[in-house]
Amino acid sequence: MRRGNARLRDILQRSPVFDATYPCPALQFVLGFGDIGENAGKPRGDVLGGWRLLTTRVALLTRVAKRSVGDGPSILGAAWGAVAASLLLCASAAYAEFEIPEVDAEKGAFEAEYRGAHHWGLPPREDRDDRDPLRQSHELELQYSLTDWWMLRLTPNVEQPGGESIEFASLGVETQFVLVPRHGGFFGLALMAGYGPNSLFVDDGTPDEFEFGPVVEVAPGPWLLTLNPRFTTDVGEFAERDGLGFEYAAQLRYQFAERWGAAVLGFGELEELADTGPFESQTHVLGPSLYVFSAPEAEREWTLGAGVLFGLTNASAKSALRITFAMEY
């Protein structure tokens, strides 16, 4: 497991939202768990009190959203959706790098996207001593478009292996250049590059990572195919490989109603292209997802997605729950 620097880890563990005595930080916030010390992890009140706290949290989320987005029934739905996502993610304790990027950029647009994942049946981490494999992780991606063809993304990530507390794991920095904007048309193309300065945030010899690749969108009618193949490599003093690795993200989505869509997603990784090994040693997952979109008249666009992924190899998790929530400002 990645070990964050002591000061940052201590801040996270002392935070009521990330209290390690209760297994899900998002649910702590929603239900009001989060005292520290001898009361850590204990509910503030009985069941009725917990329900009142839940509705209070939803009301708070609704008020915050109204200030930035405006009024309307879609706001309350989004607030409850965020709460539902946090409840689902806490069914137990996984990789959140299930990202499906978009091609287009709009100058001055800011977007925040939460991505969470929960895995069942992960294989042991052979390169991480005898610690349990990762069970849960959370990412909050912040994206800003400087122009109509250039955007930047910042993505902090926290993780929780089985039986251990939540810790800061990494910080990703990405940039994307739009080569062929789609703007609702048939075809779009962009080039993205990302850098993970892991050595600045963890002290276990994890190498820095660099990745690059295209983002392709093809949209015939109500269908949208998104492909994001990426080449990866280690950099810095802790680099473990000289060659390139390969990762991919793919999604085929069908919008069957104005505010609803269904999709099939796939993700995979080859650690080294020069030595891919047998198929069973590679990571490949595939599964369905359902999306709900904001109303066309909404002042701010948002998307809530939920899906299940199934492992296709022995090196993959047997199953995973994927939750995403994105809002554009």
pLDDT at 231: 96
Q: pLDDT tens, 42-65?
A: 443 333 444 444 445 445 544 544
Mean pLDDT score, 85-108: 66
Q: Under CATH, which number does the domain 97-328 receive?
A: 2.40.160.40
The backbone torsions φ and ψ at residue 95, rounded to the nearest 5 degrees and listed phi first, read: -80, 135
Structure tokens at 38: 């001898």
Read off the pLDDT band of 70 (50, 70, 90). Answer: low
What pLDDT score was predicted for residue 156? 85
In eight-state DSSP terms, residue 90 is T
Q: Quote the longest CA-to-CA distance of the chain.
A: 59
Q: What is the 3-state secondary structure (H, E, C) of 225-283?
A: EEEEEEEEEEECCCCCCCCCEEEEEEEEEEEEECCEEEEEEEEEEECCHHHCCCHHHCE
Measured CA to CA in angstroms, residue 244 lies from 100, 102, 241 at distances of: 22, 24, 8
pLDDT, residue 122, reads: 77
Supply the pLDDT for residue 67: 53
Read off the pLDDT band of 124 (50, 70, 90). Answer: low
Which of 14-23, 160-169, 245-254, 275-284 is predicted with the least confidence, judged by mean pLDDT?
A: 14-23
pLDDT tens digits along 131-187: 456 677 788 899 999 999 999 999 888 776 666 677 777 788 999 999 999 999 999
* pLDDT tens profile 171-227: 889 999 999 999 999 999 999 999 988 777 767 677 889 999 999 999 999 999 999
Strands 319-328 and 302-311, how do they pair?
antiparallel
Q: Name the region of 121 (left: φ>0; alpha: ψ -120 to 50; beta: rest).
A: left
Across 121-259, where does the E strand assignment appear?
Answer: 134-145, 150-161, 167-180, 187-196, 208-218, 223-235, 245-257
User: How high is the pLDDT of residue 304?
Assistant: 97
- Return the pLDDT at 101: 94
H-state helical runs in the chain: 6-14, 25-31, 47-69, 73-89
300: how many CB neighbours lie within 10 A of its CB?
17
Region for residue 69 given its phi and psi (left: phi exceeds 0; alpha: psi -120 to 50; beta: otherwise):
alpha
Domain boundaries defined on the chain: 97-328
Chain segment 298-319, per-residue pLDDT in tens: 989 999 999 999 999 998 989 9
